[in-house]
Amino acid sequence: MRQSQLFTKTRKEAPANEVSKNAILLIRAGYIHKEMAGVYSYLPLGLRVLKKIEDIIRNEMNTIGGIEMRTSIIQTKEVWEKSNRWDDNIVDNWFKTELKNGTEIGLSFTNEEAYSSMLTQYIHSYTDLPIYPYDFKNIFRNETRSKSGIMRGREFYWKALYSFSKDDAEHQEFYEKAKQAYKNIFQNVGIGHITYMTFASGGSFSKFSHEFQTITEAGEDTIYIDEAKGIAINKEVYTDEVIESLGLNKDKIIEQKAVEVGNIFSLGTKFSEPFNLSFTNESGEKQLVTMGSYGIGLGRLMGTIAEVLSDDKGLIWPTSVSPFSLHLIVLGKDKEGDTYKKAEEIYNELTKKGIEVLFDDRDESAGAKFADSDLIGIPMRVVVSDKSIAAGGVEIKERKGDKSEIITIEELYKTYKPNCE
Ligand code: ATP
Ligand code: MG
């Protein structure tokens, strides 16, 4: 992509009413646009990051047997009355509206009901189980506080997978696989080293649920970490009894602020019961389906990465989720000159090889281009200038470090291969 054609521009200031670091950086760098508190649009750069995250999650979900689909956002009142979650006194974050004929409808704030209701039409026999459908979709919640940028949206994009198993044993087997898939996901998006599987309250069907909590001052949760074991306990269930039951050493536990980037939950028959989601087992008896839920907020995850992997100059994306692999910058005044021609050639060649390049071909000063590049945060910068050409090639520099070096154009082509190779 040519930066001259990217309509978004970097900004020196974020909107005056924006208080969260992730939103300030992402707005200034042109990744998101603020519609109102808790509601953001994803601009071209932001969408590229979101899609990278989506692909990483999809890959892990498919590996453990997930089947992607898409449930509707508009949902009927009747479905939610079955699980007793339509009433505003029970769920207070509903966005509801009505059809022209007065029929009440809601915008989905979660998916258990949609799946449980729908699957009664497809699950009949033990041979139909287990199944693991999931979707990526926008979720709507009328959150009371929305001051954390894209980490807490009123409209947000998530992945939710639901497991439908014959019994507890089958459920547990998948649950363990999901834990590992989640660990892989947070590792692959670059925050594995500061993300902990955290024991949290489990509702009525299991003692604990598992949250994946990333350490950040911007988080709203408090967790207690045992570094040696690599696990944590959420404040809500942090008691001497729990510490002991998990075999943790109380003296070594440290308190941290963290954000829940994902969670996995055993649901038992909480939803299969009201929806009568059952199957005929091998003995010919009716049996309720055992369910689990597995969520990740993609916007929250992107906001968390922005929050924790950034410095005073701007964003620093891990390669795996960066909108582009390389930021190619050409310097000089003469658009018809050899240096520009060389940069064009490099851009075309890399693009032809399938490498994602953002090419800063704008008529701006070196200082302005470098400042923008630091703000946008692509992990590797490649500068083509009269000076670099005279020195034998291009100047490369990692966003993370201070050191730069000159390499030949051939070396550049050899080093950068498309992701799929
Ligand atoms: P929280 O306690 O932070 O409100 P939650 O328990 O309501 O989260 P779930 O309903 O389990 O979250 O949703 C699954 C995942 O969706 C969460 O782990 C989180 O990553 C994400 N998520 C939840 N609420 C929001 C939101 N308002 N904005 C962005 N992501 C969210
Ligand atoms: Mg919530």
pLDDT digits (tens, 9 = 90+) for 220-231: 999 999 999 999
Q: At what angle do helices 44-63 and 168-188 cross, to 10 degrees?
A: 140
Ligand 1 center from residue 13 Cα (angstroms): 29
From the CB of 39, is ligand 1 less than 6 Å away?
no
Q: What is the mean pLDDT of the chain?
A: 96
- pLDDT value of position 335: 85
Q: Which atom of ligand 1 is nearest to the CA of 143?
A: 27
Is pLDDT at 252 greater than 70 in this prediction?
yes
Return the best residue to mutate from 300, 301, 305 for the ligand 1 pocket (most ligand atoms within 8 A of CB): 300
From the CB of 38, is ligand 1 less than 6 Å away?
no
Residue 292 φ then ψ, to 5°: -140, 155
| Mean per-residue pLDDT, 357-368 | 96
Return the best residue to mutate from 113, 157, 158, 209 for the ligand 1 pocket (most ligand atoms within 8 A of CB): 158
Report the half-sphere exposure of 326 (CA within 13 A, side-chain side): 30
| Mean per-residue pLDDT, 130-142 | 98
From the CB of 210, is ligand 1 less than 6 Å away?
no
From the CB of 263, is ligand 1 less than 6 Å away?
yes
Ligand 2 center from residue 195 Cα (angstroms): 19
Residue 76 φ then ψ, to 5°: -85, 155
From the CB of 297, is ligand 1 less than 6 Å away?
yes
3-class SS of residue 312: coil
Please tell me the residue having the least CA distance from ligand 1 atom 1.
260
Lowest mean pLDDT among 7-21, 69-83, 167-181, 292-306: 7-21
Ordered domains of the chain (ranges, CATH): 7-73+108-311 (3.30.930.10), 326-415 (3.40.50.800)
Where are any strands of DSSP class E within 218-289? 221-226, 231-234, 254-268, 278-280, 286-288
Is pLDDT at 420 greater than 80 in this prediction?
no
Is pLDDT at 419 greater than 60 in this prediction?
no
At CB < 8 A and 24+ separation, what contacts does 6-11 make? 6/30, 6/44, 6/45, 6/358, 7/44, 8/43, 8/44, 8/45, 10/371, 10/372, 10/375, 10/376
Contact 281, 261 (CB under 8 A): no
Predicted structure pTM score = 0.97
Is pLDDT at 332 greater than 90 in this prediction?
no
Is pLDDT at 145 greater than 90 in this prediction?
no
Ligand 1 center from residue 84 Cα (angstroms): 20
From the CB of 136, is ligand 1 less than 6 Å away?
no
Is pLDDT at 204 greater than 80 in this prediction?
no
Return the best residue to mutate from 237, 263, 302 for the ligand 1 pocket (most ligand atoms within 8 A of CB): 263
The C-alpha angle 374, 375, 376, rounded to 5 degrees, equals 95
From the CB of 219, is ligand 1 less than 6 Å away?
no
Q: How confident is the model at residue 421 (pLDDT cuts 50, 70, 90)?
A: very low
The C-alpha angle 353, 357, 360, rounded to 5 degrees, equals 140
From the CB of 156, is ligand 1 less than 6 Å away?
yes
| Mean per-residue pLDDT, 138-156 | 95
Q: How confident is the model at residue 418 (pLDDT cuts 50, 70, 90)?
A: low
Ligand 1 center from residue 136 Cα (angstroms): 14
Q: How far apart are the first and last CA of the chain?
A: 21
CB within 8 Å of 245: residues ≥ 6 apart: none
Q: Which residue has the higher pLDDT, 334 or 186?
A: 186
Q: Which atom of ligand 1 is nearest to the CA of 301?
A: 20
| Mean per-residue pLDDT, 316-345 | 95
Is pLDDT at 203 greater than 90 in this prediction?
no
Residue 32: both structure tokens together: 């998101």
pLDDT-above-70 percentage for the chain: 99
Q: Which bound ligand lies closest to the C-alpha atom of 263?
A: 1
Is pLDDT at 242 greater than 70 in this prediction?
yes
Q: Which bound ligand lies closest to the C-alpha atom of 153?
A: 1
* 63-93 per-position pLDDT tens digit: 999 999 999 999 999 999 999 999 999 999 9
From the CB of 149, is ligand 1 less than 6 Å away?
no
| Mean per-residue pLDDT, 377-403 | 96
Q: Which atom of ligand 1 is nearest to the CA of 154?
A: 27
Ligand 2 center from residue 129 Cα (angstroms): 30
Q: Which atom of ligand 1 is nearest to the CA of 265?
A: 11
Peptide bond before 130: cis, by omega within 30 degrees of 0? yes
Is pLDDT at 286 greater than 70 in this prediction?
yes
126 membership: H or E segment, kind and range: none
Q: Which of the 8 DSSP states describes residue 64? A: T
- From 240, 236, 206, select the one nearest 221 (Cα to Cα): 236
From the CB of 261, is ligand 1 less than 6 Å away?
yes
* 19-53 per-position pLDDT tens digit: 999 999 999 999 999 999 999 999 999 999 999 99
Please tell me the residue having the least CA distance from ligand 1 atom 3.
260
Please tell me the residue having the least CA distance from ligand 1 atom 14.
295
- From 234, 290, 286, 287, select the one nearest 267 (Cα to Cα): 290
